[in-house]
Amino acid sequence: MKFICQNIYDYFIRKRNSSFDNAIISNWEELPNIKEKYFKLSYDKLTVCVGNLSFGGTGKTPLIAELINNYLPQDLSKCIIERGYKKYQKGDYFLNSENIDENSIEFAGDEALMLFEKTKIPVSISKKKYRAYFNAINKFEPECIIVDDGYQHRWILPDLNILILDEKTIKKPFYPPFGKLRESLQNSYRANIILVPKGSKNEIVISENQICLEFEILPGKIYSSTNSDDISKSKKYIALAGIANPNRFIQTLHDNEIQLIKSLFFSDHQVYKIKDINKIINFTKVYTSGIITTEKDFVKLRKFSNEFVKNEISLFIQPIEFKIIDENNQLKNIIEEILITKNIKAL
Confidence band, pLDDT 50/70/90 cuts, at residue 5: confident
What are the E-state strand segments in 4-97?
A: 25-27, 40-42, 46-52, 78-82, 93-95
Given a cut of 90, whether residue 262 has pLDDT beyond it is yes
Same topology, domains 2-216+323-341 and 221-318? Answer is yes
Return the minimum-mean-pLDDT range out of 4-13, 256-265, 281-290: 4-13
Percent of the chain with pLDDT over 70: 98
Between CA 57 and CA 166 the distance in angstroms is 9
Given a cut of 90, whether residue 330 has pLDDT beyond it is yes
CB 39 within 8 A of CB 24: yes
**Per-residue pLDDT, 228:** 67
Strand partners, 291: 238, 315
148-167 pLDDT, tens digit per residue, is 999 999 999 999 999 999 99
Higher pLDDT, 232 or 335: 335
**Per-residue pLDDT, 81:** 98
119-133 pLDDT, tens digit per residue, is 999 999 999 999 999
Average pLDDT over residues 2-12: 84
Strand partners, 104: none
CATH number of 2-216+323-341: 3.40.50
Given a cut of 60, whether residue 347 has pLDDT beyond it is no
CB 182 within 8 A of CB 294: no
DSSP state of 229: -
Higher pLDDT, 99 or 17: 17
**Per-residue pLDDT, 136:** 98
Confidence band, pLDDT 50/70/90 cuts, at residue 2: low
Domain boundaries, given as residue ranges, for the chain: 2-216+323-341, 221-318
Percent of the chain with pLDDT over 90: 73
Return the minimum-mean-pLDDT range out of 106-110, 124-128, 324-328, 343-347: 343-347
DSSP 3-state of 314? strand
DSSP 3-state of 111? helix
Given a cut of 70, whether residue 12 has pLDDT beyond it is yes
Buried b (16+ CB within 10 A) or exposed e, 290-326: bbbbbbbbbbbbbebeebbeeeebbbbbbbbbbebeb
**Per-residue pLDDT, 272:** 92
Given a cut of 80, whether residue 300 has pLDDT beyond it is yes
Tell me how far apart the 2 most distant CA atoms of the chain are, in Å: 62
Average pLDDT over residues 255-277: 92
Between CA 128 and CA 135 the distance in angstroms is 11
CATH number of 221-318: 3.40.50
Higher pLDDT, 314 or 56: 314
Average pLDDT over residues 42-68: 93
